């Protein structure tokens, strides 16, 4: 007699015989079961599907290699966010066929709650049931293009919102790629390698640089570098922080009891401007683990800098300048502690003026970006105009360069920007550079004053015919003080100080007798 199957096994066997593709995603967004029909639809064996994560947020452009790579997440199998939040519903699930075509099937999402399945009774504490899995049932047939189009309309805002956010995040990942950190200077190469290391480490990162230097762009590049990371990014400008905004920010990062997604990232822009009370609040939240977030912070280096060294890991050490105490002496204790906590890795963004070799490619980038939003198309910036741009010191960094290029684009009368079409500020910088500034004379005050005194004494002696008493009188000095100064200034020997000798230098005697 055949041995009876366990209930779970018999249920799995039933599903395996189903012609409808079925799979189950657990609360950690891992596929814990798939039937044969799904494996056939995806053209992958079940063992290469089960155990892999499904991603919602950071879906990349689909590639066959990505699907075939057993470690990559299967982004298109991700149930809708509502289903992951415990709501039953319908949507569309896609996969890429071997020939590159996208296949789409209608899907039903059935959330499974823990207390319903395990404890068989509602919890007495009144808490919501904990989601532990989502069962996904696909239709037997592919959707036609017409069905896909009508589905987008009929499913209304929920599915469209889902698609919109996926498109948005895909665009973000592409826009903030490491390749977007333009420049071939050694300083920018170093930044790119640091960004790579920071993205791989998952550690907190502090980015130093001037306002407008692209610090936030670098922070976002670090966040979006890891394609498998579906964590949200929450940017906050510390200059605008209020009590209410701080509370809401911390609330948004509190680990939710209902989700188990990856750690979010908090991007703190201009950390040095965070008010003291909020520094303490944030420090406590991080130390006590009230919030679960990776911290990416930017910090202005416009204050005087101090060289510091921070170990990112055993084999990676970054050097950077920071200006914590100088920036906010009144709150440096808390701010320094906060910086220590978030500066596992430090990255210093070079000034544009220190990497003018990158200026042509950056200017061309901004020019082409402006072309996209303008009816006028300008092809390039002439070499002599680029030379003029390189003479300017760019206190506003990349932001100022972008504005300058846009102004020149708007003023451009042909297909190429020439020097006369650059803003007046650039002309003034060129003019100033053409007239080199005289190096200011340096003095040592004590030496200057001694030389003046010596000159006055010599003149007084000459006036008095070498008579020291009379010279002292002319200078308003007592005889003892006059003799002391003669010795101190090297005009007489030690004995002169006692008034014993009148060793006035010969040239004085000579002058006096003339």
Per CB under 8 A, 158 contacts other proteins: yes
Binder among 18, 30, 81, 450 for other proteins (CB under 8 A): 81
Residue 425 tokens read as: 């500020």
Contacts 24+ apart (CB under 8 A), 31-40: 31/74, 31/77, 32/133, 37/138, 38/138
Binder among 29, 52, 215, 232 for other proteins (CB under 8 A): 232
* Beta bridge mates, 308: 320
- In the bound complex, what is the minimum distance in angstroms from residue 142's beta carbon to other proteins? 26
Q: Which of residues 244 and 506 has its CB atom nearest to other proteins in the complex?
A: 244
Residue pair 136/24 in contact (Cβ under 8 Å)? The answer is: yes
- In the bound complex, what is the minimum distance in angstroms from residue 403's beta carbon to other proteins? 8
Residue pair 59/66 in contact (Cβ under 8 Å)? The answer is: no
Cα distance between residue 300 and residue 269, in whole Å:
9
- In the bound complex, what is the minimum distance in angstroms from residue 125's beta carbon to other proteins? 21
Cα distance between residue 123 and residue 480, in whole Å:
102
Per CB under 8 A, 227 contacts other proteins: no
Binder among 171, 304, 379, 395 for other proteins (CB under 8 A): 171
Cα distance between residue 39 and residue 23, in whole Å:
10
Cα distance between residue 252 and residue 151, in whole Å:
32
Distances from the Cα of 345 to the Cαs of 187, 198, 216, 272, 342, in angstroms? 17, 7, 15, 17, 8
Binder among 193, 242, 451, 495 for other proteins (CB under 8 A): 242
Q: List the x/- string, 369-398, binding to other proteins by CB under 8 A.
A: ----x-------------------------
Cα distance between residue 61 and residue 295, in whole Å:
27
Per CB under 8 A, 329 contacts other proteins: no
Residue 211 DSSP one-character state: T
Per CB under 8 A, 407 contacts other proteins: no
- In the bound complex, what is the minimum distance in angstroms from residue 240's beta carbon to other proteins? 5
Binder among 70, 128, 160, 455 for other proteins (CB under 8 A): 160
Q: Which of residues 109 and 318 has its CB atom nearest to other proteins in the complex?
A: 109
- How many CB atoms lie under 10 A from the CB of residue 483? 23
Site residue total, other proteins (CB under 8 A)? 36
- In the bound complex, what is the minimum distance in angstroms from residue 444's beta carbon to other proteins? 31
Cα distance between residue 426 and residue 419, in whole Å:
9
Q: List the x/- string, 449-488, binding to other proteins by CB under 8 A.
A: ----------------------------------------
Per CB under 8 A, 172 contacts other proteins: yes
Stretch binding other proteins (CB under 8 A), from 14-22, 132-140, 165-173, 177-185 = 165-173
DSSP 82-106: HHHTT--EEEEEEEE-TTS-EEEEE
State the pairing for strand pair 380-381/416-417.
parallel
Cα distance between residue 318 and residue 228, in whole Å:
26
Positive or negative: CA dihedral 271, 273, 276, 277: negative
Stretch binding other proteins (CB under 8 A), from 122-130, 160-168, 202-210, 412-420 = 160-168
Binding to other proteins, residues 260-289 (CB under 8 A) = 273
Q: Which of residues 212 and 466 has its CB atom nearest to other proteins in the complex?
A: 212
- In the bound complex, what is the minimum distance in angstroms from residue 243's beta carbon to other proteins? 8
Binder among 13, 68, 175, 311 for other proteins (CB under 8 A): 175
Stretch binding other proteins (CB under 8 A), from 43-51, 77-85, 379-387, 456-464 = 77-85
Cα distance between residue 20 and residue 7, in whole Å:
21
Binder among 137, 241, 398, 486 for other proteins (CB under 8 A): 241
Residue pair 226/233 in contact (Cβ under 8 Å)? The answer is: no
- In the bound complex, what is the minimum distance in angstroms from residue 55's beta carbon to other proteins? 15
Binding residues (CB under 8 A) for other proteins: these are: 81-82, 85, 87, 157-158, 160-162, 164-165, 167-169, 171-172, 175, 232-237, 239-245, 248, 252, 273, 373, 402-403
């Amino acid at each position: 007699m055949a041995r009876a199957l366990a209930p779970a096994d018999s249920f799995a066997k039933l599903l395996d015989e189903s012609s409808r593709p079925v799979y189950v995603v657990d609360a950690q967004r891992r596929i814990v079961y798939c039937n044969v029909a799904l494996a056939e639809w995806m053209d992958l064996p079940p063992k290469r599907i089960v155990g892999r994560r499904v991603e919602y947020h950071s879906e990349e452009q689909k590639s066959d290699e990505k699907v075939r790579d057993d470690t990559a997440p299967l982004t298109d199998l991700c149930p809708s966010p509502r289903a992951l939040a415990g709501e039953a519903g319908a949507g569309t699930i896609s996969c890429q066929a071997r020939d590159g075509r996208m296949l789409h099937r209608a899907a039903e999402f059935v959330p499974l709650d823990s207390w319903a399945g395990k404890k068989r009774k509602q919890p007495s504490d009144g808490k919501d049931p904990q989601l532990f899995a989502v069962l996904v049932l696909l239709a037997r047939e592919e959707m036609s293009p017409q069905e896909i189009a009508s589905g987008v309309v009929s499913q209304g805002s929920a599915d469209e919102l889902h698609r919109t956010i996926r498109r948005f995040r895909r665009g973000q990942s592409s826009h903030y790629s490491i390749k977007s950190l333009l420049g071939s200077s050694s300083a920018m190469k170093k930044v790119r390698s640091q960004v790579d290391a920071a993205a791989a480490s998952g550690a907190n990162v502090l980015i130093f640089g001037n306002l407008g230097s692209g610090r936030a762009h670098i922070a976002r590049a670090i966040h979006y570098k890891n394609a498998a990371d579906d964590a949200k990014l929450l940017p906050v400008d510390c200059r605008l922080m209020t009590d209410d905004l701080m509370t809401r920010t911390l609330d948004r990062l509190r680990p939710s009891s209902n989700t188990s997604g990856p750690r979010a990232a908090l991007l703190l822009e201009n950390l040095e401007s965070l008010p003291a009370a909020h520094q303490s609040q944030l420090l406590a939240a991080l130390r006590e683990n009230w919030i679960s977030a990776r911290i990416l912070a930017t910090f202005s280096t416009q204050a005087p800098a101090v060289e510091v060294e921070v170990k990112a890991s055993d084999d990676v050490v970054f050097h950077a300048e920071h200006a914590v105490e100088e920036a906010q002496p009144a709150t440096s204790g808390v701010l320094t502690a906060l910086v220590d906590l978030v500066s596992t890795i430090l990255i210093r963004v070079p000034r544009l003026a220190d990497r003018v070799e990158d200026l042509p490619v950056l200017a061309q980038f901004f020019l082409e970006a402006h072309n996209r939003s303008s009816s006028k198309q300008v092809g390039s910036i002439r070499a002599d105009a680029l030379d003029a741009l390189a003479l300017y010191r760019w206190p506003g960094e990349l932001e100022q360069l972008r504005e300058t290029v846009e102004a020149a684009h708007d003023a451009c009368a042909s297909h190429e920007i020439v020097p006369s079409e650059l803003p007046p500020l650039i002309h003034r910088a060129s003019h100033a550079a053409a007239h080199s500034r005289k190096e200011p004379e340096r003095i040592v005050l004590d030496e200057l004053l001694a030389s003046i005194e010596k000159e006055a004494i010599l003149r007084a002696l000459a006036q008095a015919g070498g008579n020291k008493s009379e010279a002292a009188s002319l200078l308003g000095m007592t005889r003892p003080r006059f003799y002391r100064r003669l010795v101190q200034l090297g005009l007489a020997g030690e004995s002169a100080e006692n008034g014993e000798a009148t060793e006035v230098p010969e040239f004085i005697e000579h002058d006096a007798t003339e």
